[in-house]
Amino acid sequence: MPGWKEMSNIWNTVRQIDITEIRQESERPLQIGCIGETEHLNIISELLYYHHNNRYGPAGEKPLRYHYLPLDSYQPALRHSDMLLLAIDGSKPPTYPLIQTFNRLQELAIPLLIVVLYSNRLPDMSWGTTSMPLTTARVVAFEQPLAATNTTTLATALLATLPGELHLSASRKLPGIRPIMAHDLVANTSLSNASYTLAAGLPAQIPILSIPFAAADILVLTKNQALMVYKLALSHGAPPDFQANLREIIPVIGSAFLWRQLARSLVGLIPVWGLVPKVAVAYAGTYTIGIAAWRWFATSELVSRDQLKAISQKALHAGFVQARHMLDQTRKGMQQTSLVAQKLLHQKQDGHKTRSHRRWPFARKSEPAPDTTPEKE
């Protein structure tokens, strides 16, 4: 556990963060128009609202709006949906009303996800003269609709279809997509902190920690981690009042705040500090904090010291892989930029020589010398 001074620094850092936009994003209204037969929509609902062992249930107004087939008329409410989901039975030939509905949904130009049940592929929807080709829809198929892995597959497809600014709101309202949301959030923040570390280079050192991290850079990394923890809390349905939950969030960060502990444990493993180890530690520290917060807000599990060590070691290995890859990409990019710059410079020099050569034809021509040969008498 960090000392009182470190806890005070963490507290001050987190308390200064403006979370207004994040909270507003988590509270955005969301409507997902679900079209299909009652039996099929019940399966979709069970997969998305599934929250076994979750600490928090759905938060806010339910986003799923059901429209049952066959539709008596084209319902205007579908036009106001942020996303559409069409559930069909892939084991039966599609009916004309289903194909007609399918065509209309594509005409709306709203993100569309098609969930095929009892089959591993989308049936032939080309029957009828009014049919349209499948152009914009995303498709997932479940031969066994209630299989344990279907929740993950459906959640991944839903987040890939739904606009990114609605992901946090969707996760609060639909417990079934929370594990995928949390995984993406932790992974993206870890890469973001690693990228920042690579760009900044972290040239300064903190003598107290005996590791090459500058205080200003620690502040940036910690703020990113605190925002990640808060987003994890909101995405799992925790109350959105940041000040009221500050005491709950800070211990999670504090118990997993590994800049001192992780770095000290790695000093003996890394003979020479360089850019790759710095990036790896930034990635591993952020990832470990994310996993600890994820488990806390999902199931109230407080990760033990041994578990934390195992997570950090695994994260460090992944961090080295990411760091080497990022550094290789950076070097390649710099080499390409250098080649392009050299090419442009050569073109400029060649163009200058060409222009200089072309000026000669326009120079004033010298007149012929007068004939001084004496005329014959």
CATH of domain 31-81+83-161: 3.40.50
* Extents of the domains making up the chain: 4-22+177-327, 31-81+83-161
Distance separating alpha carbons of residues 185 and 182, to the nearest angstrom: 5
How much is the pLDDT for 226?
82
DSSP label at residue 292: H
- By three-state DSSP, how is residue 67 classified? strand
pTM score of the predicted model: 0.77
Task: Work out the end-to-end distance of the chain between its first and last CA atoms, rounded to an integer number of angstroms.
Answer: 123
Instruction: For residue 67, give both structure tokens.
Output: 């429209």
Q: What's the Rg (C-alpha) of the chain?
A: 31
Residue range 139-163, pLDDT digits in tens? 999 999 988 889 999 999 999 999 9
The predicted pLDDT at position 4 comes to 42
- Chunked in runs of 10, what are the mean pLDDT values of the chain (377 residues)? 47 67 94 94 92 83 90 74 94 86 83 94 68 70 91 95 96 95 95 86 46 63 85 92 66 53 49 70 88 90 82 89 87 70 63 54 48 48
- The conformation of residue 260, written as its DSSP 8-state character, comes to H
What DSSP element (H or E) covers 322?
Answer: helix 305-358
**CB burial class (10 A; 0-12, 13-18, 19+) of residue 164?**
exposed
Residue 139's nearest CA partner among 170, 111, 168 is: 111
